């Protein structure tokens, strides 16, 4: 037997209503905030990710699925959605469009990580990117969308953490202070962080190892090195969140795992997620479009992990437009089978969902399948019914039965379906 790949999951029909609910909710909120869907490729040239995400990040160092195309070009399965969206924005010269470019996307992402609950090698994200506006209201809009959608989906115990990374110059003046502190305590850091002291010291603030956390708690803070402009920017973002009543807490160690952020970064965590408690995260990345050879373009966005939302949703929270079939057709005999086939098609074409099990040959077997499929009604059509020109509609709950003219089935059935 050929099995699926480790860390890559199938979503069976029992699970997909949950996903559909999450996706429908996300789309609804994206529409309300004026974001439009973009669909970008699942693979891109490797340099796109290496240049945007940053060479010394976990993703680029060890998590990418990279392979050689037949002509030798190095390609990579996308580990996240921002790089591809920015590439598309630049390639299609979207900066020339006079209205704000606000995009959302859904889709699978690929990272070679150690699979565990809430951490997969193929996982799915919903994300948004808002291009062109260097205004705190743009950060607030994106954060609000994230907060409203996670609340609406029904997640409990949500916490929004927020930080300000300043501009590159702020980090340049902060970095030596942090490095000096870290070097004094180097032997207490995990080996990963010891390696990062020179390469990417800020990332150490984000390390989840308890010893590293304890140490960095006492470290000099970036917030204390920020110049006037980022301080004012951050204050405006927080004021706006207060105004629209979105609760947050400040987290000075929230540097995020990607190199392209500046000013605002944020993360939403949920209760009951265990070690992988981040549901979604994002921030402002004003330099990225330029880094990828586009025009200077401020931007802000987020991505949420759909697996983590799906894990947390109670069955009772799920409301979806994916309806169960309403009418089951129980057809027998030569004439009955043909009439049943017509009835199925007549109902479906008129917008009524109808099903049958073509293997069943007795009424009892048909009724059992109708129950299993959760159909509210069964339409019984045997050869006799065909002769009379009427089928028998059985309400599966009350068991009451009605004769219906087969020639005008959809019209005759409609009022009966809506009563129950």
**Which of residues 119 and 175 has its CB atom nearest to ligand ATP in the complex?**
119
Minimum distance from residue 413 beta carbon to ligand ATP (Å): 45
Our CB check for ligand ATP shows the closer of 276 and 320 to be 276
> 255 or 347: whose CB is closer to ligand ATP?
255
Which residues are 226's β-sheet partners? Answer: none
What are the residues binding ligand ATP (CB under 6 A)? Answer: 80, 111, 113, 118-120, 123, 125, 257, 276, 278-281, 303-305, 307-308
CB of 277 to ligand ATP, least distance (A): 8
Instruction: Give me the least distance between CB of 113 and ligand ATP, in Å please.
Output: 5
Residue 273 Cβ vs ligand ATP, minimum distance, rounded to whole Å: 9
Distance CA 8, CA 183 (A): 40
Indicate the residue among 259 and 286 with the shorter CB distance to ligand ATP.
259
C-beta of 182 vs 258, nearer to ligand ATP: 258
Q: At closest approach, how far in Å is the CB of 203 from ligand ATP?
A: 11
Q: Taking the CB of residue 329, how many other CB atoms lie within 10 A of it?
A: 28
Q: How far is the CB of 80 from ligand ATP (least distance, A)?
A: 5
Q: Which CB atom, from 306 or from 370, has the smaller least distance to ligand ATP?
A: 306
257, two tokens: 């795992």
Q: Are 371 and 396 in contact (CB under 8 A)?
A: yes
CB of residue 335 to ligand ATP, shortest distance in Å: 54
The four Cα atoms 71, 73, 74, 77 give a dihedral, to 10 degrees, of -80
Q: Which residue is nearest to ligand ATP (CB)?
A: 305
CA distances (Å), 302 to each of 2, 285, 293, 299, 411, in order?
Answer: 36, 11, 22, 11, 48
> Distance between alpha carbon 156 and the CA centroid of its chain, in Å?
17
Our CB check for ligand ATP shows the closer of 24 and 113 to be 113
């Amino acid at each position: 037997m050929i099995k699926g790949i480790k860390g890559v999951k199938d979503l069976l029909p029992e699970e997909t209503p949950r996903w559909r609910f999450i996706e429908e909710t996300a789309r609804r909120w994206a529409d309300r905030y004026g974001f439009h869907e973009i669909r970008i490729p699942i693979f891109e040239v490797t340099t796109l990710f290496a240049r945007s995400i940053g060479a010394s990040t976990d993703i680029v160092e060890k998590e990418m699925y990279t392979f050689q195309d037949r002509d030798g070009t190095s390609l990579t399965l996308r580990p996240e959605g921002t790089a591809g969206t920015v590439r598309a924005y630049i390639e299609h010269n979207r900066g020339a469009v006079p209205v704000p470019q606000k995009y959302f996307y859904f889709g699978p992402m690929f990272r070679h990580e150690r699979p565990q609950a809430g951490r997969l090698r193929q996982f799915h994200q919903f994300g948004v990117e808002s291009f062109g506006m260097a205004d705190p209201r743009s950060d607030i809009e994106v954060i609000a969308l994230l907060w409203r959608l996670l609340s609406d989906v029904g997640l409990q115990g949500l916490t929004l953490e927020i930080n300000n990374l300043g501009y590159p110059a702020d980090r340049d003046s902060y970095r030596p202070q942090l490095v000096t502190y870290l070097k004094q305590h180097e032997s207490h850091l995990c080996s990963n962080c010891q390696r990062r002291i020179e390469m990417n010291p800020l990332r150490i603030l984000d390390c989840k190892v308890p010893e590293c956390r304890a140490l960095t708690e006492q470290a000099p803070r970036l917030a204390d090195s920020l110049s006037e402009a980022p301080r004012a920017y951050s204050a405006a973002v927080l004021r706006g969140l207060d105004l629209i009543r979105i609760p947050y807490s400040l987290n000075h160690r929230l540097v995020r795992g990607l190199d392209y952020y500046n000013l605002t970064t944020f993360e939403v965590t949920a209760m009951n997620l265990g070690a992988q408690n981040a549901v979604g995260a994002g921030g402002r990345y004003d330099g990225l479009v330029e880094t990828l050879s586009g025009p200077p373009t401020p931007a802000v966005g987020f991505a949420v992990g759909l697996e983590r939302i799906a894990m947390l949703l109670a069955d009772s929270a799920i409301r979806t437009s994916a309806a169960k079939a309403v009418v089951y057709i129980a057809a027998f005999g030569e004439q009955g089978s043909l009439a049943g086939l017509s009835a199925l098609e007549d109902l479906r074409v008129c917008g009524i969902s109808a099903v049958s099990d073509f293997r069943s040959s007795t009424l009892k077997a048909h009724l059992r399948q109708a129950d299993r499929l959760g159909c509210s009604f069964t339409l019984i059509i045997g050869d006799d019914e065909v002769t009379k020109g009427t089928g028998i509609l059985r309400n599966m709950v009350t068991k009451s039965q009605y004769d219906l003219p087969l020639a005008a089935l959809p019209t005759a059935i409609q009022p009966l379906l809506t009563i129950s």
